[in-house]
Amino acid sequence: MENIDPVPLNLIGTAREPGRGAAVAAQHDPATGSSRPIYRKADTAQVAAAVQAAQISDWGNSTPAQRIAALSALRDQIATYSQDFARIISREIGAPIDFARTAQVGAALSHLDATIAAMPAALREEELDGAEHRIRFEPVGVSALITPWNWPLNQIVLKLGAALAAGCAVVLKPSELSPRTAGLLVECCLRAGIPPGAVNLLIGDAETGAHLVRHGGIAHISFTGSTRAGRQIAGVAASRFARTTLELGGKSANLLFADCDLETAIRQGTAHCVRNAGQSCNAASRMLVERPIYAQAVALTARHMNEIAVDLPDVPGNHIGPQVSSAQYLRVQQLIAQGIAENARLVSGGTGLPDGLTAGFFSRPTLFADVTPDMEIFQTEIFGPVLTITPFETEEEAIALANATPYGLAAYVQTTDPVRADRVSRALHAGMIQVNGTSRAQGAPFGGVGASGWGREAGLWGIRAFQEIKSISGAAAVRT
């Protein structure tokens, strides 16, 4: 049995209590495969109690100044415990410790900074044609935050910061694979002075989340996870007109035109695909390359893929770690095997463990070339360090290939022609476009279209997701 921090207790209002439901499925250390302690999930009565605690919270009546102060204090607490967060994230999901510290914790802090910066604008009334015609932005109500394991701190902070900024009390249900990260964050909330009931924590699995989604006291569901689960949540929420924000899967295309800086595009594109062991919804997992540079691009990409190190999570350095679970590892292995069976050209990697590793859920960085849209590895989100390359002849074909999946989360364009960059960006069916390796600005909206979900997170747009819009005409605001 692995030695790991205990699973946190549920936090329901002021009460801390263990789950009273059934045991969650068996869990294992991603790096070794050794068993982890089993725990019991929250039952339906605890779900109902958590929603009630949020309903009676007075957080919605807090002032903008109080909310800004609370989130600023929370930011300070996360920074204070950054090393603890990095250690827990590394142990829970297998992220290399340096990556956990700089990328996983760093992203959470950056996004919370963006939320705090957006709060004055998000909480300010707007006037239309004079003071007696105004727009108010009010809390949507009690919100369920159902978060994934792959970026376990960042994905909670994106939702939690925005919800609290808007004045919404929340019930947080993190992934059963990363409850300890959520537990430490909730402790930071309490240390930051966020009052009891404003943040409630339920420890459990998909069944726990389903109970939460079905509860009539939930006004808004913010979910990050699979497209399949998102579709189910949308159906349940629609039956009672509950608001949903859904950040789902992706199969993002990276378009390389012949005039791009090929070495830089390949280096950045390969790294983007495999970071976090390929377990990011916006991973640039489909590389589309213009025919004149195709052979060179395949060779360069193979070189970079072969240079990617795979190692244990507790080893310092720039390498990737394991998949999070046995189920995820088997999925990656099956899709690699499927690519081989479909006669995609296996350029590097393949099935099985990387050299030098004999246990755990580690995948080999794998590159397929000559991949066509009818192949499953072109269409299906693999969520592992697997990159496909497909040639194109014309700009129109590149756009068609990029848009040829149900997803629409992100896309990437590499060209030195600014006119083409703008034209192609407009034509791509995706919520986020990044050109020539440019990172998104802090506070830029995060989200997609199609099977990648709807709604946006981060910055002002993230807060707006937790607000109702009210128009008032004939009564100017009375300041007290």
Query: In terms of DSSP H, where are the helices of 30-175?
Result: 44-55, 64-80, 82-93, 97-99, 105-122, 154-166
Q: What is the pLDDT of residues 362-375, one digit of tens each?
A: 999 999 999 999 99
Known catalytic residue at 189: no
Report d(CA 447, CA 248) in Å as an integer.
Answer: 8
CA angle 417/421/425 to nearest 5° reads 170
CB 121 within 8 A of CB 465: no
Its pTM stands at: 0.96
> Which residues make Cβ contacts (< 8 Å) with residue 354, sequence separation at least 6?
310, 362, 363, 364, 365
Average pLDDT over residues 404-427: 98
Q: What is the pLDDT of residues 134-181, one digit of tens each?
A: 999 999 999 999 999 999 999 999 999 999 999 999 999 999 999 999
Active-site residue, selected from the candidate residues 92, 176, 247, 290: 247
> What pLDDT is recorded for position 2?
58
> What pLDDT is recorded for position 1?
47
Report d(CA 212, CA 209) in Å as an integer.
Answer: 5
Average pLDDT over residues 97-111: 98
Q: What is the pLDDT of residues 193-228, one digit of tens each?
A: 999 899 999 999 999 999 999 999 999 999 999 999
Active-site residue, selected from the candidate residues 281, 290, 381, 457: 281
Percent of the chain topping pLDDT 70: 99
Known catalytic residue at 342: no
CB 173 within 8 A of CB 208: yes
